[in-house]
Amino acid sequence: DGGITQSPKYLFRKEGQNVTLSCEQNLNHDAMYWYRQDPGQGLRLIYYSQIVNDFQKGDIAEGYSVSREKKESFPLTVTSAQKNPTAFYLCASSMVGNTIYFGEGSWLTVV
Amino acid sequence: AQSVSQHNHHVILSEAASLELGCNYSYGGTVNLFWYVQYPGQHLQLLLKYFSGDPLVKGIKGFEAEFIKSKFSFNLRKPSVQWSDTAEYFCAVITYGNNRLAFGKGNQVVVIP
């Protein structure tokens, strides 16, 4: 099946730990995105990448890092510097300027 | 950077009532506009989109939206809602030359049977 696969779906992290969320797409899309969804705040852009080996900060990049070594993969690392990491994280992809499609999301909880 | 405004975050209505959700954006250039829907426990799905042409766009499940350039608006409508339309609805805007898709804060719609 074509689509965007995020893993894990649920993740628990201890304070002070870094965690990495995986995002893979087989849609041959050039652009990939990471959003964070919090109740009542909509979706906020963390990072996006329009091409392999290049990425840009979104509106809330502090405490996060990404890499884009392959076209189909865009992992997000939530570092210990992120002060409020508990949230629902959505990965998305698109052809540049076109409709953006979303994965099913990953729930991260800090314990 | 562009911003997207959605008002009335919580909307409660009865089945068969009409629904209209407002969306305004702040960018003056050429835009692509979207409405996404998130049903309970499901991922975001595209409801409809506007790139160019007829400003009245029809989407899935009987939804439509009208792009009014002079008002920087892209309001979503459905003449008669069903219980299954209970969901959160997000308006989103992407501007030419900038691939950042900006979202509004969403409308939580609850349809009472």
- Block means of pLDDT (10 residues each) for chain B, 113 residues, are 84 96 89 93 90 94 95 96 96 81 92 95
Look at residue B78 in the predicted model and tell me its pLDDT.
97
Q: What are phi and psi of B54, to 5 degrees?
A: -55, 120
CB of B3 closer than 8 Å to CB of B69: no
Q: Where do the DSSP E strands lie in B1-113? A: 4-5, 10-14, 19-21, 24-25, 31-38, 45-50, 56-58, 64-68, 73-78, 87-95, 98-103, 107-112
- Closest listed residue to residue B92, CA positions, set B1, B30, B23: B23
| A96 close to B (CB below 8 A) | yes
- Rounded Cα–Cα distance for residues B63 and B72 (Å): 20
Question: Count of domains in chain B?
Answer: 1
Higher pLDDT, residue A55 or B30: A55
Reported confidence tier of residue A1, pLDDT bands at 50, 70, 90? low
Query: Does A97 sit within 8 Å of B32, measured CB to CB?
Result: yes
* The two structure tokens encoding residue B92: 């989103």
Question: pLDDT class for A26, splitting at 50, 70, 90?
Answer: very high
Q: Could you tell me which chain B residue has the CA closest to the CA of A94?
A: B99
- Number of neighbouring beta carbons within 10 Å of residue B13: 15
Range of the domain at B40: 4-112
**Residue A48: which of B49, B99, B103 has the nearest Cβ?**
B99
Identify the pLDDT of residue A96.
Answer: 77
* Residue A97 in this model has a pLDDT that exceeds 80: no
What is the arithmetic mean of pLDDT over A68-76? 97
Which of A1, A10, A38, A43 to mutate: most B Cβ within 10 Å? A43
What CATH number does the domain containing B97 carry? 2.60.40.10
What is the structure's pLDDT at B1? 61
